[in-house]
Structure 1
Amino acid sequence: MAYYNRNETEKRLGGVRRILAEKNLDAAFIYFDELNVANGWYLTGWCGQFEKGAVLVPGHGEPILLGGPESEPFAQMDAAITKVRCFPVFMVPDEEYPNATIIDFRQLNEELKAEGTVLNRIGIVGTTTIPHQVYLDVAAGFPGVELVDITEEYELMRAYKSDWEVEQAARCVELCDLAYDKMADAIRPGAFEYEVAAAGEAVCRTGGAHSFAYATIVGSGPRAKAVVPTATNKRMEDGELVMIGIAPRINGYAGTFGDTVPVNGAYTQQQKDLLNYMRETFRLTYGMLKPGMCGRQIDEPGRRYYEKHGLMEYIVCPFAHSMGLMEAEAPFFGPNGDFELAPGMIVNVDVSFFGHPQLHGGRIETCFVITEDGSRPLSPKLFDYFMKDL
């Protein structure tokens, strides 16, 4: 069973072609790889292993998935776009595939011309992540063609979620609720951090998650100040706090939670006070989740509260960001942000501190979908939990 939705794919291809028409472009070249998966997945519901790739969407005609020979049979079986061409620049360096058909961009250009597609202006998506050699090869293969950055216009489409997209995120958040309980049960003095991660990942996989949007976070004691510490073979110690988080994906879409809990099950008064400051900041930020609000407005009450309690020097991240194919993706709603919330967006309230001299670091986080008059929690369980003081 594939991870794409055919109706969604066709709508998205239509959106790309509208951008092409508005900007007088002949095609879009959308780069992706295993780390920068979202832009490619948005059109294909797929990402290859080991190899890089791109999607070429002509203004008219069939889209083509560009990749390497290891990805080709995988893509033809599982991707929404099954017309595939293989290129050396996307392959594992120095690996040989004697029976594969491998071409370059000059040959692709000739193939397109023979089909009646002449390219004079190509829109490029992923200019901050595309490898230099890929860019050079595309430019050389389409001589005289103007390359235009349309990353912002393309990624803006991803900011506004359909009902289907919200449904996938909601399913992931349901898994997060289950994972939270399993991870909490595994936390105890003497247990390894990786045991906590394994408990959460197992229940997510069993529930249908095909991957994770980030490596599961388990950071105990001083490791919590690392912002996104992945689970290690450190044993958790009595008296420590441990920061936990997980981000399962279903059909490419992520859900998540974050929390900070005592290893021995009992908060000290200092720990409880700081976590309650975070919860009040959570409540203040949640209260700003309404259509039309921008980052400057959303972030301001929480920052003012952090300043009141002497926590400003421990801020690393803003208190809200969007979620979708990535657990944290644009738009980000920080203190200088002007992007406005709109119905259908998925936004996480993500309150954290890092670098505290005694308590090191922590996070509380859960997900909301923006509605016509406010927001709706995707995890009523965690929403209710964070809305109260400890």
Structure 2
Amino acid sequence: MTDTLIAPSRGFETVEFKTRTEALQAHMAEQNIDVVFFTTEPEFRYFSGFRSQFWESPTRPWFLVIPVSGKPIAVVPEIGAAGLRQTWIEDVRSWPSPRPEDDGISLLADTLSSCAKGSGRIGAMMGPETHLRMPAANFALLQEELSQHFWVDVSLIIRGLRSVKSEAETAKIRFACEVTAAGFDFLLEHLQLGMTEREACKAMHLEMLRLGADACPYLISASGQGGYDNIIMGPTDRKLGSGDVLIIDTGANFDGYFSDFDRNYAFGQVDALTVDAYDAVYNSTEAGLRIAAPGRTTGEVWQAMWSVLEKSGALGNDVGRMGHGLGMQLTEWPSNVPNGDVELQAGMILTLEPGMTYAPGKMMVHEDNILITENGCELLHKRAWRNLPIIG
């Protein structure tokens, strides 16, 4: 049992938020954008440091406004004003929410208008893998009130900034990964024939919390004779029997940052085809680890991993990608996809997630988390078991 994991400090120094904001403002100046605003929790937190479980409620909208120069401005419901004043944000503007007839829209419009005195260009997150956390009618009203201004998508800027992690961010992700790896080891010692998927996941969940995870909001499993046919649905009350393969894929969270990787377990008598599939995805990950480095592309990483799977007799890969960015969200940009053209940079944190269909209705998936370094990459946790572990 592991008791020695040491968690990094919580939160960030003010200079971290200042650096992030100034990096965004440099891009804004280059693209002649006067002001941007954010409505979603990761972006709001990234630039402000504001963390609250109140985001779980859909009732109230939250807005963070960043002008091309100066500090961010919070436009938030009155219930959150005191919390914002505990961050580095000084200008906090509020209204009594919920107020459906005008839930902060006029206040937000006034704030944006006062900041957009140059080009009149206002930025918002409107690209792939983003959304506006406000009613569509309210966004339409905001556009109407600011009809003399021009709207610009800044999602490309933001995903570029967020994809390269600071040392403090990396420390939090590394700890989340170490907790998860220890949870998988704990489960290896405690799995038994006859347990259910749900019992296995609950045991691991409790262990990760004991080791220091704040939460484990993503913990799924799948099992089946000789393999599994999906990786997004469980856990279920299905009992694990001889010949079964169990996958658990989980993301522990520490101080707002995620891990995301999986492990496979076999039970009793397992056929050679299943063992070979495990070896294939393990070796595929090795190929990814060898090639992942600054200057390489996500497409090259994908190709290196797929070449191993293809030579091993893979019938296909229906997931659509073999890994992705990781950080404040369980999955972030970029994705490891065929012909992907995103160039890796030192400081990026990614998952390597080779998977294949190796027989009709049978999948094998493997996932690890890596940090791109100056000269290559580094695993953020202990490597998966070289051989498929067999229980019982």
TM range (shorter): 0.7 to 0.9
Partner Cα separation in structure 1 for residue 93 and residue 20 of structure 2: 19
Partner Cα separation in structure 2 for residue 301 and residue 280 of structure 1: 10
Judge conservation of contact 2:105–2:138 (CA < 8 Å) in 1. Answer: no
Judge conservation of contact 1:218–1:229 (CA < 8 Å) in 2. Answer: yes
2:57 aligned residue:
50
SS in 2 for 1:340: coil
The answer to which of 183-192 and 368-377 deviates more is 183-192
Matched, 1:107 2:114: no
Task: Output aligned runs, 1:58-69, within 5 Å.
Answer: 58-68=67-77
1:335 aligned residue:
338
Partner Cα separation in structure 1 for residue 318 and residue 116 of structure 2: 51
Kindly provide the amino acid, as one letter, of the partner of residue 50 in structure 1.
Answer: S
1:296 aligned residue:
299
1:20 aligned residue:
28
SS in 1 for 2:27: helix
5+ residue gaps in structure 1? Answer: 97-101
Judge conservation of contact 1:314–1:354 (CA < 8 Å) in 2. Answer: yes
SS in 1 for 2:353: strand
Judge conservation of contact 1:85–1:103 (CA < 8 Å) in 2. Answer: no
TM-aligned CA deviation for residue 106 of structure 1? 2.4
1:367 aligned residue:
369
Identical aligned residues as a percent: 20
1:231 aligned residue:
235
Judge conservation of contact 2:220–2:231 (CA < 8 Å) in 1. Answer: no
Kindly provide the amino acid, as one letter, of the partner of residue 264 in structure 2.
Answer: T
SS in 1 for 2:38: strand
The answer to which of 287-296 and 198-207 deviates more is 198-207
2:223 aligned residue:
220
TM-score (normalised: structure 1)? 0.83
1:382 aligned residue:
383
SS in 2 for 1:313: coil
Change (3 A) 1:201 1:389: closer
Judge conservation of contact 1:187–1:263 (CA < 8 Å) in 2. Answer: no
TM-aligned CA deviation for residue 382 of structure 1? 1.7
Task: Output aligned runs, 1:25-104, within 5 Å.
Answer: 25-32=33-40, 37-45=41-49, 46-47=51-52, 48-51=55-58, 52-68=61-77, 71-72=80-81, 75-76=84-85, 81=89, 83-86=92-95, 104=104
Partner Cα separation in structure 2 for residue 112 and residue 193 of structure 1: 50
Kindly provide the amino acid, as one letter, of the partner of residue 336 in structure 1.
Answer: N
SS in 2 for 1:189: coil
Judge conservation of contact 1:299–1:319 (CA < 8 Å) in 2. Answer: yes
1:168 aligned residue:
172
Task: Output aligned runs, 1:86-165, within 5 Å.
Answer: 86=95, 104-110=104-110, 118=117, 120-127=120-127, 128-130=130-132, 132-165=136-169
Q: CA RMSD in A?
A: 3.0
Judge conservation of contact 2:322–2:337 (CA < 8 Å) in 1. Answer: yes
Kindly provide the amino acid, as one letter, of the partner of residue 140 in structure 2.
Answer: L
Partner Cα separation in structure 1 for residue 214 and residue 335 of structure 2: 26
Matched, 1:348 2:351: yes
Judge conservation of contact 1:316–1:354 (CA < 8 Å) in 2. Answer: no
Judge conservation of contact 2:324–2:331 (CA < 8 Å) in 1. Answer: yes
**How many pairs were matched up?**
369
Partner Cα separation in structure 2 for residue 20 and residue 87 of structure 1: 31
Judge conservation of contact 2:352–2:369 (CA < 8 Å) in 1. Answer: yes
Change (3 A) 1:18 1:116: closer
For residues 305-341 of structure 1, the C-alpha deviation after alignment (integer angstroms, 9 at most, x for no partner) is 3223331424424333222112321111211211111
For residues 7-65 of structure 1, the C-alpha deviation after alignment (integer angstroms, 9 at most, x for no partner) is 22111111222122112222111121xxxx43233123425221343321122444233
Kindly provide the amino acid, as one letter, of the partner of residue 371 in structure 1.
Answer: T
Task: Output aligned runs, 1:233-312, within 5 Å.
Answer: 233-264=237-268, 267-312=270-315
TM-aligned CA deviation for residue 294 of structure 1? 0.7
Judge conservation of contact 2:223–2:245 (CA < 8 Å) in 1. Answer: yes
| Aligned mate of 2:187, from 183, 190, 213 | 183
1:193 aligned residue:
197
